[in-house]
């Protein structure tokens, strides 16, 4: 039988909002498997959908660079937030984003690309490690481009121009006024930063995620007639899409309408049809586990074990 630790119970409670004893029971019933325990709680109506955001652990910066109809977002990690405030590190992150905008946002290709001032991006990172004295990595990068239109951008928790803790780019295809379109793009990018959609629309969701949601809805309503169950699942999925699909979410700037409705209503002002083509949202360190440390113990160790 799996050992159910207090840390495991705490983790499940943070992910589901369920009570401590319910979390413990869920873990015991599922041999300590957190994901199965989440579904177990949801089937019993004791928890909402699992939170999608992983524990933010890595430090560093997210950099965004946009030029009219093309934009990139990159994440450069460091060990401490102190280094993220270092001007040299900030210059490195910003320069990498600029190189990605000019060349490619494929990480492997980007690392081998020429870096301003000489050498490659990979060598520039290595030089910064040697100079600043802390490990750094170019973790990920992505790009968006439209034939006609703009790539909107937004950076949350701005640390310096083009740099912050959350970076968003969103592609809007349109022949309308580019200045007005850029303003709308920024609003939508701000919405994405706040609402954290998982996909542009239902078609963009992972089929396995949708199947899992259907399974939970069906199990929660087991025993009902087939035709009733089908309608319940269909209704539940619509509600789920409103939570996780960008076009179906309530627009944060005007919750009385969806993002899709807000875009449609902007077409007259902008002077052309608008199509949302995609978005990228990077939150610093999401999905990366960082080893928790006991600061007092570290200080004691540094002092030779003396309190």
pLDDT digits (tens, 9 = 90+) for 13-45: 877 777 778 888 999 999 999 889 988 887 877
pLDDT at 53 over 50: no
Q: What is the DSSP letter of 246?
A: G
Tell me 248's DSSP state.
Answer: G
CA 189, CA 170: separation in Å to the nearest integer?
6
Whether residue 138 contacts residue 111, with contact meaning beta carbons closer than 8 Å, is answered with: yes
pLDDT score for 1: 60
Domains annotated on the chain, with CATH:
1-51 (1.10.8.10), 59-198+262-283 (3.30.479.20)
**Residue 51 φ then ψ, to 5°:** -65, 140
Query: What is the C-alpha to C-alpha distance for residues 284 and 287, in angstroms, rounded to an integer?
Result: 9
169-176: average pLDDT: 97
Mean predicted confidence (pLDDT) in 209-229? 88
Rounded (5°) CA angle 11-16-19: 85
Tokens of 58: 């890595």
Q: Quick one: pLDDT band at residue 54, thresholds 50, 70, 90?
A: very low
Return the pLDDT at 143.
98
Average pLDDT (232-239) is 90
Q: Has residue 270 got a pLDDT over 50?
A: yes
């Amino acid at each position: 039988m799996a050992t159910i630790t207090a840390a495991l119970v705490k983790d499940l409670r943070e992910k589901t909002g369920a009570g401590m004893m319910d979390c413990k029971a869920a873990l015991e019933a599922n041999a300590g498997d957190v994901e199965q325990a989440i579904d177990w709680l949801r089937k019993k109506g004791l928890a909402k959908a699992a939170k999608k955001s992983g524990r933010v652990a890595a430090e560093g910066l997210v950099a965004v660079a946009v030029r009219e109809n093309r934009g990139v977002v990159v994440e450069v990690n460091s060990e401490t937030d102190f280094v993220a405030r270092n001007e040299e590190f900030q210059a490195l992150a910003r320069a990498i984003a600029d190189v990605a905008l000019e060349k490619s946002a494929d990480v492997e290709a980007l690392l081998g690309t020429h870096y301003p001032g000489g050498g490659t991006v990979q060598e520039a990172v290595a030089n910064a490690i040697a100079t600043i004295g802390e490990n750094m990595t170019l973790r990920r990068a992505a790009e968006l481009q439209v034939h006609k239109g703009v790539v909107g951008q937004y950076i949350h928790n701005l640390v310096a121009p083009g740099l912050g803790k959350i970076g968003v780019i969103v592609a809007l295809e349109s022949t309308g006024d580019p200045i007005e379109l850029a303003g709308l793009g920024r609003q939508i990018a701000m919405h994405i930063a706040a609402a954290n959609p998982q996909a542009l629309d239902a078609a963009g969701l992972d089929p396995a995620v949708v199947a899992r949601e259907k399974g939970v809805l069906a199990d929660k309503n087991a025993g009902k007639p087939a035709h009733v169950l089908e309608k319940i699942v269909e209704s539940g999925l619509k509600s789920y899409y409103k939570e996780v699909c960008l076009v179906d979410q309530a627009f944060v700037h005007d919750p009385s309408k969806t993002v899709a409705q807000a875009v449609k209503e902007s077409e007259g002002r902008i002077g052309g049809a608008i199509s949302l083509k995609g978005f990228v949202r990077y939150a610093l360190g999401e999905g990366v586990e960082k080893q928790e440390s006991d600061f007092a113990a570290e200080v004691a160790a540094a002092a030779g074990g003396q309190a």
